[in-house]
Structures are given as structure tokens and as C-alpha cells.
Chains A and B, each alone.
Chain A
Amino acid sequence: MSTGPRTPLHGALLSALLGLALASGCEQKMYHAGKLQPYQPDPLDRERSSGRLPVYGTIPLEDFSTDGAYLYGTRRGKPVTEIPVPVTPELLHRGRERYNIYCAPCHDLAGSGDGIIPARGFAHPPTFHSERLRKAPVGHFFNVMTHGYGAMFGYRDRVPVSDRWAITAYIRALQLSQDVPVARLAPEQRRKVEENGT
């Protein structure tokens, strides 16, 4: 950096630019005009959002399947009991990642419903580790994620179908983690449990 006298130049530059900016009204043409940004008012009707709704009955290229069980979590009107995709370690990893992003703030990392949001006074979601929800079919969880339940609103706009199944699989894994008969544990884990006396 030069250490020479800089103030006069800076001053001149500043006032010149200031004058320019004031004179021209500093229109930000290429920022503002010409195209629509998400959620701007509709140019045809300023009262409405430019965000339209897809026409009823149309089918996009993205996230397509002919399997109603996969898309809607139901078969013949009833929630499905089997996850309609192969359950793999990758799916569970994906499910954990998505669960921790979208679900854990309320349901907490273990799924008992004591997340940071209810801790601040919001309604408590039920724990996944109840008899009712352990017995609930997987399609139930998928449907709740899609459409919401009670105070919870639907997540279908943010969590695509494939991720909803990944999260469902992970919720099943969480339920298992809190409800394993000691006899089914590996010897090493069983020793740990017995040492801790719980």
C-alpha cells in the first residue's frame, strides 16, 4: 500500500460519487426489473403471489413412480406396513441426516419429543417410543410427514418422497434402539449394559 497523501483524492472521489448517485437516483435496473424472483407479487395481479399452483392432475418429471404405496404411503386406502424401498445402510444414513435437520428440533435426536422447540414452550410432540407408535404401520409416519398431524404441518414441499422413506426407516431404527430385548444384544454390548446395571 502506498503511504502517500490520500485524503484529498478520497475526498474528491467521494463527493463526485455522491453527487452522481444522488443525481441519477441510483436505480438498480439489473437487480430489480425484467424477471420474477420467487415470492414476488404476480405482475398480472399485484394482490396475488407470482408463485402459482401446478394444475391439478399434472405429473412432473421429478420424483416419479407408478407405485402408489411409494408415492402416498397407502395401499387400498390403508397405510402400508412395509417400507416400499430397499432398506440399506445408505438409506439409514440419509434418513439420520434428514431427520436431524427437519425433525430433531421438535422430536429431539432420540425421538422422545423433547426437542429445543417444545423446550421453549411449544406443544410437545408424542414420543416415538410409545406402544402406540411402535405398533403404527410405517405408512402412518410417511403420511404424517406428508400432510402434518395436530400442531405439526406437512413437510411434503421440503422433504421429497425418497427422503420421507429414508426418515421413516430411521424412525424405525430409533424405536428399535430404545426397545431392544437384552437377549438380542451382541455379547460385548450386553456386558456393558449389565455393568451399568440398567
Chain B
Amino acid sequence: MSNGANESSGETEDLHGVTRRSFLKILGASIALAGLGGCEWFQGEEILPYVDQPENVIPGKPTHYASTFVMRGFAEGIVARTDMARPTKLEGNSHHPRTRGASDPFMQAHLLSLYDPERGKVPSYRGTDRSWSELEAWLRTKSEEWRKNHGRGLRILTETITSPTLGAELRALLARYPEARWHQYEPFSRDSVLEGARIAYGRMLSPVYRIDQAEVILSLDSDFLYQEIGHLAYSRDFADGRRVRSDRRRMSRLYCVESATTITGAMADHRLPLQASRILPFAISLARRLGIALRSLEGPGSQPGGRFLEEVASDLGRARGRCLVLAGEDQPPELHALAHAINSHLGNLGRTMTLIDPPEQNPVNQLDSLRSLVSEMSQGRVETLLILGGNPVYTAPVDLGFEENLHLARHSLKFGLHPDETSYVSDWYLPESHGLESWGDARAIDGLASPIQPVVAPLYQTRDALQLVATVSGPAGRLDRDLLRGYWNAEWQKDRRLEPRSAFEDFWSTSLHQGFFAGTAFQPISAAIRLDSVSQALAGVRPPPEHSGLELTFRPDPRVWDGRYSNNSWLQELPKPLTQLTWDNAVFVSPATAASLGLKDQQVVRIELRGRSAEGPVLIVEGQPENSIGLNAGYGRRHAGSVGDGHGFDVFTLRFSDERLFAPKPRLLKTGRTTMLARRQLDSRADSHRIVRHGPLRQFILDPTSIVPPRKRQESLVPDYDYKEADYAWGMVIDLNVCIGCKTCTIACQAENNIPVVGKAEVNNGRAMHWIRVDRYYDGSSANPDTYFQPVPCMQCEKAPCELVCPTEATVHSSEGINQMVYNRCVGTRFCSNNCPYKVRRFNFFQYADLKTPVLRLLRNPDVTVRSQGVMEKCTYCIQRINAAKITAEIDGRKIREGEVLTACQSACPTRAIHFGDLNDGKSEVSRLKKEPLDYNLLDELDTRPRTSYLAALKNRNSALEGPA
């Protein structure tokens, strides 16, 4: 049996004198004999090499490209790993000034959507396949018409667009056909942000936050750590303000008032759950308490918030110029205007936040834009509607009747990655190239433009948005890349801020290489707050009565958003941050509300609102505001594809245009039915086993060693091994104080290590395959608990309980301290998993990995084995990355440098909570962190000597708010 060191250090004999080596000899011989009988393995394999091998493509070695990931129109920098010129993994671009190497689940799952077997592959007209040339022929006759009637009846509907080149092309099209119109709609838009600024400053402006400069932060329903645009930079900055070490004993303080349970609320030092409609009254009281001179502000009689509000106000007042108030996208414009007034009053403008022109091309109120489009359609004034992305038939407010009116347009064309509800009722469906197959550009939240360069040639007969608009507007034959180059050449000649010294070719190639156009971020604008306009907007606001009854809130789903990622199984199976729910949405209610209404988990209820209804299962969520019913959109899809269809229920059927953020007085009826919800983890309390260690910052400042008890060492059955003699001793430290629980690590690991999805039923059986899970623990009252997150990969125990019980030595220890799996030795006894106290081993109960769908073979990391049924698997510290770095280092005749190996979870983490490195190097970051007083081992009493350890979480409490609230 393994001695805790390298496997098979000596030949061991069994009782009958057959050594392992001679056993293998016999095995080899028997296979050779079997081969004579026609074994598949020995059939020939085809090898199709390049005729002329391109530069920068080395078989077996990856090449990397910087490009841009666009979500909701906004840019984040990515780096794509490519093998033989196809992408196999995405990371955040560490050179991109906004992204700084961070990533989120959407970015990681972007890769899977490229290889989605159900993507649109060819254009179709009313369900039959057509070619692009047939579309072009049709467009030629149309453009003759449009030239004569100036494009009357031509309407274009897009989602949010920040792409300067696409914006310029659309404007050129409108200039060519002056009576054509461009409309925009997304169900979860930035309308409130832009309209709020219009109230406060007289025009649409976009705030950019400097979270790292803020010592006191108040979030008013703003999930700036996960949901809001720009959240990657915000969460990185937030974490940088909270990395507590023995020599840095301070951190920022976050207050959160929210109408749902979000990541930002979970990270808050003090959190106040409120119904969505009560947050604006709270903010008005706060503004009054801060002494803001809002004329005509009689204000509400009863103050929501009480002592919480008093303390927030005095804390903010003490930190003038070093604090920040953020308003959420899912709150009305008035709250944003008020937040501007408060920030301006506290002197934060120019310090913890700046204002810039909106990075959007043609920023509009998207709800108004869609309304006017529908009204034109209903009057029969829309002849041709070109839907450039988005799925309005599914997402449009229910009272507008988008689908019925769409039939009044004579021609409708839907352009998008997938066929969907909208393409189902449109004439033409035009397949869109995936972002990784496209040329283009987009702006980040601060206006910085980034180029999108394709990392793979289109897999199917698809076109990108630039190419499509060029096709529609003509003249024909202009290529997407030339349009992009042409736009930036003109910009470069106009704007000498962009690399004035060099030639355009240098500017262009440098920008593509680094993944952004340097010098294109917008300059901050100084604007004077218009308090009278803010007062006027707030004049009608009255607090809802004390007992106003139930309220519905509509939010995008944290995984499938508004349904745009419904067919992405990685996102579907990634547990939602707080509820740990997979594959479904639910009716979220607080424990007290559930008790008063007599509701239980998984009971199907019927929600009625203004004559419409929807049915969904109840999920009781700790920390959900009382009498608030949380609904996440994006489910109940009818034409999403085989992954997305049939999960959850559609909440857009309850969303009216005048109450699209929250709606009062819904009726809740029990149906008497129940259904199954698959949750990755059931409710767990932090206080029971000291699994998550945490404490108040104040206690840490007084005595840093008081939070984590000293380690105990016991006698071990496993003999000692001196890892100091090895070249490396790998170890990991996870900082729970900055882990925001977004689970990007989980999905990044899934992409890197070819981890299969198992489906809803198997998740419910506890068989999800994620190698790193993120546990969520509650502490305190169930009405408003403290929340802690804990990512759990394999602990890589030095005294590993799993190794002792494996009968086939399929799990063995390396000399560098990694507990390794030898897949082809595993016979599936599952003894190891049973003996693992951390429950981090995953077993392939069935053939989970899809070996049949051809296109999925392109997706998988060629450096990692795809496991088959009956095999145990688990985290390996990304051994393939360690070995790749080892090869490079050995060629150069040196050791692996600090930071040269990043595990997939580590490099994906937006807050840099995961640290990995060589424990034999006393100067490495991970060695230093292991000496921190907050460092602790999970289940230390078992003395398994894990290589993965944690830094305890801290809360920066306001002492005036402690004790029973």
C-alpha cells in the first residue's frame, strides 16, 4: 500500500507471489491475444496533418488570443486558449485595464455556447433552410424599394449596443434610409441608471464607481459584486479593500439594503432586507437625516430602517469623500437620482465615483423605445422588422402584446445565435456567428473600447452583426474586418490621443494583441446636481402603509439571465449563489411569510396579477424580505433547445410595462401539487461544526490569534514523508474574507477539466460532478442571517484517508504532495469517496460525459482525459497545468517561478480569493499566507494535514448595531 509518498516505490508481493508488475505483464499478453480477435483499439486511426502548417500553431501546444466577451452590450477582456486554431478555454484578460484577469460564470460558459450542438447553422425562411444568397437577393429587391421610399416601414430592433463600429454602421444605414428607425430593448436594461442621471444632472450620464477608494459603502438594492455591469472590476476593487492580514488590520464596511438575497447582501457587514417599494422611502429618510436640502420633500411619516438608518447616516457622514452610495438597476430612476444627490452631498463625486457620457451607442429609454415600436406595428406602419438579437416575443412586457403585433409587420427577420420564441414566429431566421467567431468591438463600463477578434473560423454558415448590417445597408462585398479596421483608422486619424507617434498598423496590431484600444476610456465629466429637479421627481413618493401585503419583484436569473443562456448546461447546473438551486427558478419567500401563508418548499403555487397568472414551486429562502415574493426570469422557455426547454416557469407573463421592477398585491394560491427542485446543498448553519470560521474585525485587531484556535497534531497511521526533498510542495490558500460565492471557480474548473453535467435528477441524487463546490452557510436569525461562502476543492491531504482504502492504488500520492487519480486503474469501488471526510470525490455513476455528439469533442481540453462510467474523479490542482509549466521550466533549465502555474479556479476568481503555489519556497505568497493567524484547516481535528487551507472570514461590524437588532 502507498506509504504516503510516491507510488510503487518498491515491488510489493501478494501471498501468491504475483507482483503487480508480473500481473501487468499477463494483462498485456492477454490484450495482445485479444487483439487477434478483432479489437477495435487496433483498428487504424486516420491522421490528417496540415499541408502547409500555419505559423503559431504547434500541435499539442496551445496558442492564446486576446479578444472581448460582450454581455448586455458591454465589454470584458478575455484571453482564449486555442488548440489547433479552435478555442478550448477562456480566461479574463489580465492586461485589460477593466477586466484585470477576472471572470464570471457567463464568460466561462461563453465557450460552451460556441459548441452548442443546437446553435443556428443555416438561414431559414418559415422553417425551411435557405442560403444567404437567397436572403441577399431578397434584400436587393427590398433596398430598391427603400431607396425610393427612404426606408419607410423599415424598423431595426437591437439590444444594447456599445460597439462604435456597429453603431456607426447603423447610423450610416439610417442616413441612407432616413425614414427607417432604430429601436432598442432588453428586459433588464439600464433605463433607471440613465433616467436617474437625467433627473439629477439634466442629461443621461453613466456613473463609474471607484470601490477601492470607498471606506463606507451603502448598496441600495445594487448587486454591484455580481449583477451590475462592470461588476468584475467592482468586485476586484471591493476585495482589495478587504484583504485583512496581520500587517493590514483594516477593511471597508459594506451596508446593504436589498429586496432579494444577492451576493452583495451576503458580503455585507450589515444587511437590511426590505420590500423593493420601501427602499426609495428608506433613501429619502436617509437623505433627510444627512441634511440634504430637498425642497418640497415632506417625506414619509414612518421611517423604514430605524436604528439601521441612523447608524448608516452617521457612518456615511463621518466618511465624507471616502464613502459611496450605489443604487441598483432594478430600482426606479428616482432612487438613482437620489443616490446622485447623496453622493454629491457627501463629496464623493470625483473621489469614489465619476460621471461619464453613456458608453452605449444611442442611449435611449429602452422601454419607451419598445413601446413606440409596438404602437407603430399595431398601426400597420412597420413593413419590415429586423430583430438584431434579443428575444422580445419571450421577454417583452406582457401588456404590450409584442407577439400579436409582430404578425402585423409584413416581413420579420430575426438574427441570433439560437432559434428561439421570436424566430419561431418570424419569417426569416438568420444564424449569428458566435462572439468567438466574429469581428467587432465593444466598450466597457468606463468607455474603454476593446476589439473582438475571431479565435476560430465560423463553424457553420453564420455571419456576425457587422457583416449582417453591411449586407442590409449595402453596398455588398464589404467585410467585417475591413469595416472594423476602417472605423478605427478614421478614429486614429481624428484622435491623436491614440498612439500619436506610430503608424496605424502598429496601433491596430498592438490593440488586437493586447485586447483593448488604449486611450479610448471616456474622460470624467463634471456636472452640477440639480436638487430642485430631484425634489420634484420625489414629490409624489409616499411610503407604503405598514402592512401593504405581498409584493412581487422581478430579477434576472443569476445564471441564465433573461433566458439568453437557457440552453447552456454549464450555467443551468451551476448552483445559484445563495439558494444552491440548479436547473430551475422558484417562488422565493421568507421563512416567516411561508409560515403565515402555510407554504412549504416545492409546493406549486399559482401567482395571479392583474388577470395574468403563473405557476411555480415555492422555495423558502432565509434572508428574503418579508411579504416579498422573489421571481427570477429566464425560465419556462418554449423554444430554447433541448437543454433549456421545460425547466422552471415563465415570469415574463406577469411583467407589465408599468410595473416591470416590482408589482404590489399579487394573489398567491396553493394548487395542491408539489414538484421537485434540485438543490446542490440544503440549508446549513455555520454554528454547528465550526466549518466556516469567522469573527468580528474588532476582535482580530485586538488579538489576531483569537479567531482561529491553535492546530492540534495527533499520531497518524500514515507514515511521515519529507516533502522538503521534492522540487515542489504544492499548496493552496482560500481567503474566505474576499470570496463572494459567485462560483466562477466551479464553472472554470468544469471547462478546464472536461467535467460533465449530470442533469436535474442526478443533481437531486447528490451526484453533481463539480470538482470545486462552493458551500453556503447561514449564521444567526433566519429572517436576516449572516452568510458565508466556502469553496471546497480536494484538500490534497498529506495523510489522505482515501488512499489507504483503495484496493487498486488508483489514488496515490505524488512526491510533490498531490493526491492523484489514476483513472485507468480505478475499478469503481467508491471506498475512497466513502472515506473522504470532505466529500470532494465524484463518481461517474453513468456515462455522464457525452461521447456521441461530435461537436463536443472540439470543446474539450485536449490535455485532460474524458472520464468514462465507473471511474472516480476529483480535483488534481490542475496537474496538467503544473506539468506544462514544468516542461517549460526544464527546457529553460530553471525551477517553476512563483505565479507561473495558476490553477483554473485561481485564475478565474474575480476577487483573487484563491492562492496557489510552492510551499517549499518560503518566500512564495502561499507560504506566507499559511503563516497568517487567520489560516485554518477544514476539520482540523481529523489531522489529515490538508494542503488546502482557509483564511477565516471577518465582518467589520458597526458596534452601535450589534446585539439583538
Residues of A within 8 A of B (CB): 1-2, 4, 6, 9-10, 13-14, 17-18, 20-22, 25-41, 43-44, 48-64, 66, 68, 154, 156-158
Contact = CB atoms under 8 A, between A and B. Distances in A.
A17 B25 CA distance: 12
Nearest to B64: A61
A148 to B, nearest CB: 10
Given A55-B454, A66-B505, 9 more contacts: A26-B41, A43-B855, A51-B59, A51-B85, A53-B85, A57-B481, A59-B513, A60-B56, A66-B510
Nearest to B437: A55
B679 to A, nearest CB: 29
A155 B481 CA distance: 28
Across the A-B interface, the 6 shortest Cβ-Cβ residue pairs: A34-B866, A2-B17, A43-B854, A38-B59, A49-B48, A21-B34
A34 B860 contact: yes
18 contacts: A1-B13, A4-B16, A9-B16, A21-B31, A26-B39, A35-B866, A40-B45, A40-B48, A44-B854, A51-B50, A52-B86, A52-B457, A59-B453, A62-B56, A63-B56, A64-B509, A66-B502, A157-B57
Contacts of A64: 509, 513
B754 interface: yes
A10 to B, nearest CB: 7
B656 to A, nearest CB: 45
Interface of B: 13, 16-19, 23, 26-27, 29-31, 33-35, 37, 39-41, 45-50, 52-60, 63-66, 79, 82-86, 453-457, 459, 481, 502, 505-506, 509-510, 512-513, 754, 823-824, 849, 851, 854-858, 860-862, 864-868, 871
Contacts of A27: 40-41
A31 B13 CA distance: 29
Contacts of A32: 41
Contacts of A50: 48, 84, 86, 858
Contacts of B509: 59, 64, 66
Contact of A51 (B46, B48, B851, B864): B48
Contacts of B27: 17
A28 B63 CA distance: 29
Contact of A21 (B30, B59, B823, B862): B30
Contacts of A48: 48
A6 B84 contact: no
A18 B30 contact: yes
B34 A53 contact: no
Contacts of A39: 47-49, 59
B888 to A, nearest CB: 12
B512 A59 contact: yes
B30 A44 contact: no
Contact of A10 (B26, B457, B857, B864): B26
Contacts of A61: 63-66, 79, 513
Contacts of B459: 44
Contacts of A30: 823-824, 865-868, 871
Contact of A25 (B40, B52, B57, B65): B40
B65 A35 contact: no
B868 A29 contact: yes
Given A17-B27, A53-B457, A59-B512, A37 B41 contact: no
A40 B46 contact: yes
Nearest to B14: A2
A62 B79 CA distance: 12
B41 A36 contact: no
Contact of A36 (B17, B37, B57, B857): B857
Nearest to A61: B64
Given A34-B754, A54-B57, A13 B513 contact: no
Contacts of B39: 21, 25-26
A173 to B, nearest CB: 23
B760 to A, nearest CB: 23
Contact of B17 (A6, A33, A55): A6
Nearest to B865: A30
Nearest to A54: B85
A53 B58 CA distance: 12
Contacts of A49: 48-50
B41 A28 contact: yes
Contacts of B33: 18, 21
A64 B85 CA distance: 17
Contact of A13 (B18, B37, B82): B18
Given A26-B41, A51-B84, A64-B513, A59 B18 contact: no
A50 to B, nearest CB: 6
B475 to A, nearest CB: 21
Contacts of B53: 157-158
A121 B17 CA distance: 58
B40 A55 contact: no
Contacts of B513: 59-61, 64
Contacts of B868: 29-30, 33
Contacts of B502: 66
Contacts of A40: 45-48
A25 B37 CA distance: 9
B366 to A, nearest CB: 33
Contact of A41 (B48, B86, B457, B864): B48
Contacts of A66: 502, 505-506, 509-510
A174 to B, nearest CB: 25
A31 B45 CA distance: 12
Nearest to A1: B17
Nearest to B502: A66
B101 to A, nearest CB: 13
Contacts of A44: 459, 854-855, 858
A4 B16 CA distance: 8
A28 B43 CA distance: 12
B454 A58 contact: yes
A31 B823 CA distance: 11
B49 A51 contact: yes
Contacts of B506: 66
A187 B362 CA distance: 79
Given A25-B40, A40-B47, A51-B50, A33 B60 contact: no
Nearest to B867: A30
B30 A62 contact: no
Contact of B46 (A41, A54, A62, A156): A41
Contact of B851 (A4, A31, A33, A59): A33
Contacts of A54: 54, 56-57, 63, 82, 85
Contact of A62 (B45, B48, B64, B854): B64
A17 B33 CA distance: 10
Contacts of A43: 854-855, 857-858
A144 B957 CA distance: 69
Contact of B23 (A13, A53, A57, A58): A13
A158 B47 CA distance: 19
B37 A22 contact: yes
Given A35-B866, A157-B54, A60 B65 contact: yes
A154 B55 CA distance: 10
B895 to A, nearest CB: 20
Nearest to A64: B513
Contacts of B40: 25-28
Most chain A CB within 10 A, of B31, B48, B861, is at B48
Contacts of B54: 53-54, 157
A48 B457 CA distance: 14
B890 to A, nearest CB: 16
B858 A36 contact: yes
A4 B56 CA distance: 59
Nearest to B11: A1
Contacts of B861: 35
A61 B457 CA distance: 18
Most chain A CB within 10 A, of B56, B506, B509, is at B56
A141 B502 CA distance: 28
A112 B429 CA distance: 64
A55 B26 contact: no
A58 B45 contact: no
Contacts of B17: 1-2, 4, 6, 9
